[in-house]
C-alpha cells in the first residue's frame, strides 16, 4: 500500500511502515501544499492513504468519489513517541479503510 505522511508529522515515522511504501510530503515535492491540492496530488501520484494529525481535515475535505483514504492518529500530543504508540492501530485501520473514507485512531 502507498502511504503518504503529511508534513505535520515527524518524517521518521515512515520507518514504522516497513511493509508498505511510505513517503513524506517533502520527499514527494508536496511540501507547503494546501490540503485540497495535497489530496489531489497524492491521488495522482498513486497514494492510497494519507496520514495526518490535522484533526480539522475530515471537516474540510469532501472525499466522496476520491480514491484516497485518510487516517488521523489522535494522541495526547503529536510527539513522535506518541505517534509511534498509535502505529499498530493505524496499520489495522488502513487494512479496513475503503477509498474516500476517513478514520480517526485514538489513544485509549
What pLDDT was estimated at residue 108? 63
C-alpha to C-alpha distances, 61 to 14, 27, 108, nearest whole angstrom: 24, 23, 26
What pLDDT was estimated at residue 54? 87
Is the pLDDT confidence value at 60 over 80? no
What pLDDT was estimated at residue 21? 96
SS3 content of the chain, % helix, strand, coil (to 5): 40, 20, 40
Average pLDDT over every residue of 31-54: 93
Q: What is the pLDDT of residues 64-88, one digit of tens each?
A: 889 999 999 998 888 999 999 999 9
C-alpha to C-alpha distances, 106 to 27, 34, 37, 93, nearest whole angstrom: 27, 25, 26, 11
Is the pLDDT confidence value at 58 over 90? no
pTM for this entry? 0.92
> What is the sign of the dihedral through the CA atoms of 92, 3, 5 and 56?
negative
Is the pLDDT confidence value at 63 over 90? no
What pLDDT was estimated at residue 68? 92
Amino acid at each position: 500500500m502507498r502511504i503518504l505522511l503529511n508534513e505535520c508529522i515527524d518524517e521518521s515515522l515512515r520507518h514504522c511502515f516497513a511493509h508498505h511504501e511510505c513517503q513524506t510530503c517533502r520527499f514527494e515535492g508536496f511540501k507547503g501544499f494546501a490540503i485540497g491540492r495535497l489530496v489531489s496530488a497524492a491521488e495522482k501520484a498513486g497514494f492510497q492513504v494519507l496520514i495526518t494529525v490535522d484533526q480539522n481535515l475530515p471537516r474540510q475535505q469532501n472525499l466522496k468519489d476520491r480514491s484516497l483514504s485518510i487516517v488521523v492518529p489522535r494522541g495526547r500530543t503529536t510527539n513522535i513517541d506518541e505517534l509511534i504508540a498509535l502505529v499498530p492501530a493505524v496499520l489495522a485501520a488502513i487494512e479496513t479503510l475503503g477509498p474516500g473514507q476517513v478514520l480517526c485512531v485514538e489513544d485509549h
